[in-house]
């Protein structure tokens, strides 16, 4: 594959060259895919378990390309007008207020819809024309039809692990996106991430990553969700700030994963096996 | 008197001969859940069950006192086989409780790491010890404590005869410095059992193979004594002798000792009172013959399929379905035949009188779930103005209050429950057992089906009811109670009333067929409810792990199709295997079976809220 010229990308952008990038360690070709998708104006879907770096990846790419990032965390009451905008009532007048999606389309930028499956169904009405080759955003209320500039990019993410019975992504929506699967990084890489993120030494990072991988094997059988990289970072942060390692693991790794006392006791045994008792 | 003194002496001498600490004991039962989680997280196979091991003969030298007491011939060690992790039922070796518990954890770690069966015993265990210590540095100090305690218990090498002394020294060195000993010096006897290591010569377990013909369903029948501890014995399967010779002719009378030794003679098979199990605990090897004619089975049920005239009416030629073979890791196509059936002679019936009060209450509760159009107030968007909100807003503004963002519209929302639910009930013979003085499991299931249908017909959700049982892979009986397209009426109630227990539980095939029926429904949410009272099992190899793994794959396939499988069970031991099948949040165990009829509709409401 042809390597991309970053200048070409920057020619799209209004911002000067990147300043301080957020910390991100790539674990595959995701940087390249993002850049290609951006250049060719394709929308991107990122799927992966919670806390594996989806949001961080998007903000890193936004910073790297030099685009403003509009992040919307979707929830089950999020409607289309929360994305597009609505009329607000002022002193005797009403005025139109752009939603984050409209703002991103107008100004150019990355609109990132986190956990998109959580949003109400009527949001698909806005997302569909924007995510295929039309790239338009019709605003019913004002009668406008915005067409997206080249520097607009739609990125959505969801966690396929949540077996949310009531919500899933419709195939017709899913097939409008270029898709990227994230998983927890390989042990060596995850160590570097923990070290880069917190300043932990190799020993501690290795211990934590091994511990996390032990816990991850319990997913679906004993635990609903696997221990995320984010939890590891929290744990390392607590330890480095001087908190007792075992207690830090209990607070930041074990208790967030389970409510069941016996399971927590077993998880603590796994912690003791790594950190000693 | 003699007996009393004897018992006293036995207690005294065994106490003196074997130093154990029953007050500090830790039992497997106490830590079984933790044991399972630890084993899996440390890399053990998640399909294995944790069970208590039988004691095995170790053959090592015993002290004079032990010989007098007749104790310490056998010991409980840890080993793995294809289906189970076998751990000692109780550990009371050490005077501190913590140490006993640590030994359990250590053995679990060792078993989870244990990988190279080709190496000799001593090397294998040292290697595993090294691996564990390397992977879990936090266990090092525990290992040290355990090793010190174990070394204290072992015989002093200088007191042992030549040969055994070298052996003992090698073991001590290997415990202190794992990896330092290459081989075990030969000696006349095997060494003293090493409690920190895995079993030197794990007893081969008989696989649950296809040749089993056991007619007695393991959980069937109400007259089977529930055993608290299901220990594993080393078993040998022997053929039931055909010869009609009585043993008196060919054997000397001394041979009648035998709980222990198997002699191929014609034994009378009477079913008397439940046998005393104690002698069995002292045995190394139980010989089990497949009899095929226990009195209970003769009396209680006829295992042949009923004659065509009296059986339910089959529909069509049957449907061929695949089955998963976990050892081969492949899906065997067209391996089972599933036969849809309709109850013969089921008369239309009204709802049984004893349920009508509950049914009425459920119906009114569930009517609240009925899809209906509602006006949502205070919305940011909507088809009409929300006058109350507008008046409030204007008043606030005129009163000089800061205008804040608030919804001024009403919107007409259709609360859509686009839902289809298929309930699959286990009708195997195990449901014939009594749960109380006057109710069998099947009666509870019948009431559950009634109330569930009453509740769901009040909501308007689409639902179907099916039941299943099986007799080997060619005869999976799939009873049609209510199809999706049929209305719940007296005819359906008649079919529900006609369900009866029979045969076994080949769950995988039934789930596969039910999934196919459910996936054809146009609803966006599809719930597959499975109602059961025990593990999957059948006469052939479909028991133990085979059945569990096949069911697991069937569940997985259902998920792939976009269905949501959910299991409701009344099996108290369900938590041992259900997480493996359905995931941690995919099942619920109803502790009091009598509550099932009322619980299930509520559970349904919760699941589909």
Alpha helices in B399-484 (DSSP H): 441-459
pLDDT of A260 > 80? The answer is: yes
pLDDT of residue B67: 72
- Domain CATH code at residue A32: 3.40.50.300
Q: How far is A254 from chain B (nearest CA, A)?
A: 13
DSSP letter at A41?
A: T
Shared domain check, A129 and A76? yes
Q: Determine the residue of chain A that is closest to B140 in CA distance.
A: A276
pLDDT of B245 > 70? The answer is: no
Shared domain check, A176 and A199? no
Which residues 456-485 in chain B show a CB within 8 A of chain A? none
Coil, helix or strand for B412? Answer: strand
Q: Determine the residue of chain B that is closest to A171 in CA distance.
A: B562
Of B510, B472, B429, B533, residue with least CA distance to B217: B429
**Whether A165 and B527 lie within 8 Å, measured CB to CB:** yes
Shared domain check, A140 and A44? yes
pLDDT of residue B10: 77
Shared domain check, A172 and A157? yes
Q: Determine the residue of chain A that is closest to B137 in CA distance.
A: A274
pLDDT of residue B215: 39
Q: Is residue A154 part of a domain?
A: yes
Residue numbers in B near A271 (CB within 8 A):
138
Cβ pairs bridging A and B (under 8 Å): 95
Tell whether A79 is within 8 A of chain B (Cβ).
Answer: yes
Report yes or no: B235 and B288 within 8 Å, Cβ to Cβ. Answer: yes
Q: How far is A147 from chain B (nearest CA, A)?
A: 24
pLDDT of B18 > 90? The answer is: no
B284: which 2 tokens?
Answer: 């190394």
> Could you tell me whether strands A44-47 and A153-158 are parallel, antiparallel, or unpaired per DSSP bridges?
parallel
Cα separation of B489 and B350, whole Å? Answer: 8
**Whether B584 and A79 lie within 8 Å, measured CB to CB:** no
Q: Is residue A109 part of a domain?
A: yes
pLDDT of A79 > 70? The answer is: yes
Tell whether B139 is within 8 A of chain A (Cβ).
Answer: yes
Q: How far is B49 from chain A (nearest CA, A)?
A: 13
Which of A181, A201, A216 lies at the terminal end of a domain, its last residue?
A181
Cα separation of B104 and B86, whole Å? Answer: 11
Shared domain check, A156 and A204? no
**Whether B40 and A217 lie within 8 Å, measured CB to CB:** yes
Cα separation of B349 and B336, whole Å? Answer: 34
Tell me the residue range of the domain where A232 lies: 187-275
B578-609 per-position pLDDT tens digit: 888 888 778 888 877 777 787 777 777 777 76
Tell whether A214 is within 8 A of chain B (Cβ).
Answer: yes
Instruction: Supply the mean pLDDT for chain A.
Output: 85
Which of A147, A181, A215 lies at the terminal end of a domain, its last residue?
A181
Nearest to B139 among A89, A266, A273 (CB): A273
CATH homologous superfamily of B319-366+417-607 equals von Willebrand factor, type A domain (3.40.50.410)
Above pLDDT 90, what percent of chain B? 1
Largest CA distance in chain B: 114
Which residue has tokens 């995931």? B583
Tell whether B606 is within 8 A of chain A (Cβ).
Answer: no
Shared domain check, A72 and A29? yes
**Whether B136 and A220 lie within 8 Å, measured CB to CB:** no
Shared domain check, A205 and A165? no
**Whether A221 and B579 lie within 8 Å, measured CB to CB:** yes
A82-92 per-position pLDDT tens digit: 899 888 777 77
Tell whether B409 is within 8 A of chain A (Cβ).
Answer: no
Looking at chain B, how many residues does it have? 609
Q: Is residue A47 part of a domain?
A: yes
Cα separation of A33 and A271, whole Å? Answer: 38
Which of A181, A216, A233 lies at the terminal end of a domain, its last residue?
A181
Per domain, the residue ranges of chain B are 2-176, 234-300, 319-366+417-607, 373-414
- Structurally, chain A folds into a number of domains equal to 2
pLDDT of residue B306: 64
Q: Determine the residue of chain A that is closest to B400 in CA distance.
A: A91
Per-residue pLDDT band for B212 (boundaries 50, 70, 90) equals very low
Q: Is residue A1 part of a domain?
A: no
Q: Kindly list the distances between the CA atom of residue B419 and the CA atoms of B174, B329, B424, B518, B522, in Å, as whole numbers in the listed order.
A: 63, 34, 16, 11, 9
Burial of B287 (0-12, 13-18, 19+ CB in 10 A): middle
Cβ neighbours, 10 Å, residue A17: 10
Q: Is residue A73 part of a domain?
A: yes
**Whether A165 and B607 lie within 8 Å, measured CB to CB:** yes
pLDDT of residue B211: 39
B534-586 per-position pLDDT tens digit: 888 888 888 778 888 889 999 988 888 888 888 888 887 777 788 888 887 78
Report yes or no: B493 and B532 within 8 Å, Cβ to Cβ. Answer: no
Shared domain check, A193 and A154? no
Of the given ranges (A169-173, B295-299, B521-525), which has the lowest mean pLDDT?
B295-299
**Whether B525 and A163 lie within 8 Å, measured CB to CB:** no
Q: Is residue A242 part of a domain?
A: yes
Cβ neighbours, 10 Å, residue B344: 11
Shared domain check, A211 and A147? no
Q: Nearest 5 degrees, angle CA B515-CA B449-CA B491?
A: 95
pLDDT of residue B221: 37
**Whether B140 and A276 lie within 8 Å, measured CB to CB:** yes
- Looking at per-residue pLDDT, the higher value among A21 and B278 belongs to A21
Looking at chain A, how many residues does it have? 277
Cα separation of A268 and B269, whole Å? Answer: 52
Q: What share of chain B is helix, strand, coil (3-state, %, to 5)?
A: 40, 20, 45
Shared domain check, A237 and A132? no
């Amino acid at each position: 594959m042809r390597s991309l010229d970053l200048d070409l990308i920057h020619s799209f952008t209004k911002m000067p060259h990147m300043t301080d990038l957020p910390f991100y360690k790539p674990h595959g070709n995701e940087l390249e895919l993002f850049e290609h998708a951006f250049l060719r104006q394709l929308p991107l879907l990122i799927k992966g378990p919670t806390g594996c770096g989806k949001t961080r990846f998007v903000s890193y790419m936004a910073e790297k390309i030099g685009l403003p990032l509009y992040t919307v965390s979707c929830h089950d009451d999020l409607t289309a007008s929360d994305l597009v905008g609505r009329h607000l009532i002022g002193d005797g007048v009403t005025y139109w207020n752009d939603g984050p999606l409209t703002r991103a389309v107008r100004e150019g930028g990355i609109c990132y819809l986190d956990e998109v499956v959580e949003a109400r169904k009527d949001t698909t009405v806005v997302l569909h024309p924007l995510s295929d080759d039309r790239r338009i955003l019709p605003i019913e209320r004002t009668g406008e039809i915005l067409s997206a500039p080249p520097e607009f990019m739609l990125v959505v993410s969801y966690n396929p692990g949540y077996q949310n019975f009531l919500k899933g992504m419709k195939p017709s929506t899913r097939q409008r996106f270029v898709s990227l699967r994230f998983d927890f990084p390989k042990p060596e890489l995850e160590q570097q991430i923990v070290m880069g993120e917190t300043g932990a030494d190799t020993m501690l990072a290795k211990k934590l990553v091994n511990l996390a991988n032990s816990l991850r094997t319990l997913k679906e059988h004993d635990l609903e969700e696997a221990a995320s990289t984010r939890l590891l970072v929290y744990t390392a942060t607590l330890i480095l700030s001087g908190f007792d390692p075992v207690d830090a693991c209990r607070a930041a790794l074990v208790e967030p994963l389970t409510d069941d006392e016996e399971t927590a006791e077993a998880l603590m045994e796994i912690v003791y096996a790594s950190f000693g008792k | 008197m003699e007996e009393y003194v004897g018992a006293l002496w036995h207690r005294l001498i065994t106490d003196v001969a074997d130093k154990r600490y029953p007050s500090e004991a830790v039992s497997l039962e106490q830590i079984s859940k933790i044991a399972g989680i630890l084993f899996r997280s440390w890399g053990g196979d998640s399909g294995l069950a944790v069970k208590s091991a039988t004691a095995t003969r170790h053959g090592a030298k015993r002290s004079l006192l032990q010989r007098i007491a007749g104790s310490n011939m056998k010991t409980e060690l840890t080993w793995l086989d294809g289906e189970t992790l076998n751990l000692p039922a109780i550990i009371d070796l050490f005077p501190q409780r913590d140490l006993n518990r640590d030994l359990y954890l250590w053995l679990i770690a060792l078993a989870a790491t244990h990988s190279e069966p080709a190496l000799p015993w001593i090397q294998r265990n040292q290697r595993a010890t090294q691996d564990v210590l390397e992977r879990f540095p936090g266990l090092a100090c525990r290992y040290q404590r355990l090793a010190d305690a174990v070394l204290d218990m072992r015989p002093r090498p200088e007191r042992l005869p030549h040969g055994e002394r070298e052996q003992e020294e090698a073991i001590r060195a290997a415990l202190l410095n794992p990896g330092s000993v290459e081989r075990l010096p030969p000696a006349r006897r095997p060494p003293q059992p090493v409690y920190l290591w895995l079993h030197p010569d794990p007893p081969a377990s008989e696989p649950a193979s296809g040749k089993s013909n056991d007619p007695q369903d393991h959980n069937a029948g109400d007259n089977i004594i529930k055993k608290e501890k299901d220990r594993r014995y080393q078993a040998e399967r022997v053929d039931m002798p055909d010869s009609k010779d009585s043993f008196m002719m060919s054997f000397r009378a001394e041979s009648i000792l035998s709980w222990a030794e198997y002699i191929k003679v014609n034994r009378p098979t009477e079913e008397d009172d439940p046998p005393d199990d104690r002698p069995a605990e002292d045995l190394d090897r139980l010989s089990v013959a497949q009899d095929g004619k226990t009195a209970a089975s003769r009396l209680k049920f006829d295992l042949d399929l009923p004659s065509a005239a009296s059986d339910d009416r089959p529909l069509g030629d049957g449907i061929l379905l695949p089955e998963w073979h976990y050892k081969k890791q492949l899906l065997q196509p067209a391996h089972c035949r599933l036969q849809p059936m309709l109850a013969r002679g089921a008369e239309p019936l009204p709802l049984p009188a004893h349920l009508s009060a509950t049914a009425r209450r459920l119906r009114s509760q569930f009517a609240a779930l009925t899809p209906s159009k509602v006006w949502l107030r205070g919305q940011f968007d909507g088809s009409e103005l929300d006058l109350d909100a507008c008046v409030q807003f204007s008043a606030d503004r005129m009163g000089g209050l800061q205008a804040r963002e608030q919804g001024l519209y009403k919107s007409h929302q259709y609360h859509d429950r686009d839902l289809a639910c298929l309930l699959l009930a286990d009708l195997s013979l195990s449901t014939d057992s009594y749960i109380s003085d006057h109710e069998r499991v099947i009666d509870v299931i019948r009431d559950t089906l009634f109330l569930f249908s009453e509740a769901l017909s009040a909501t308007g959700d689409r639902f179907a009811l099916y039941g299943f049982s099986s007799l080997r892979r060619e005869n999976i009986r799939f009873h049609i109670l209510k199809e999706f397209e049929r209305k719940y009426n007296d005819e359906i109630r008649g079919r529900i009333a006609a369900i009866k227990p029979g045969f076994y539980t080949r769950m995988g095939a039934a789930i596969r067929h039910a999934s196919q029926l459910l996936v054809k429904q146009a609803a966006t949410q599809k719930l597959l409810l499975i109602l059961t009272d025990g593990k999957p099992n059948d006469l052939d190899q479909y028991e133990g792990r085979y059945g569990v793994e096949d069911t697991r794959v069937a569940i997985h396939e259902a998920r792939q199709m976009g269905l949501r499988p959910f299991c409701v069970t009344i099996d108290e031991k369900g938590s041992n295997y259900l997480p493996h099948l359905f995931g941690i949040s995919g099942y619920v165990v109803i502790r009091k079976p009598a509550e099932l009829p009322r619980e299930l509709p509520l559970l349904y409401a919760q699941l589909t809220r």
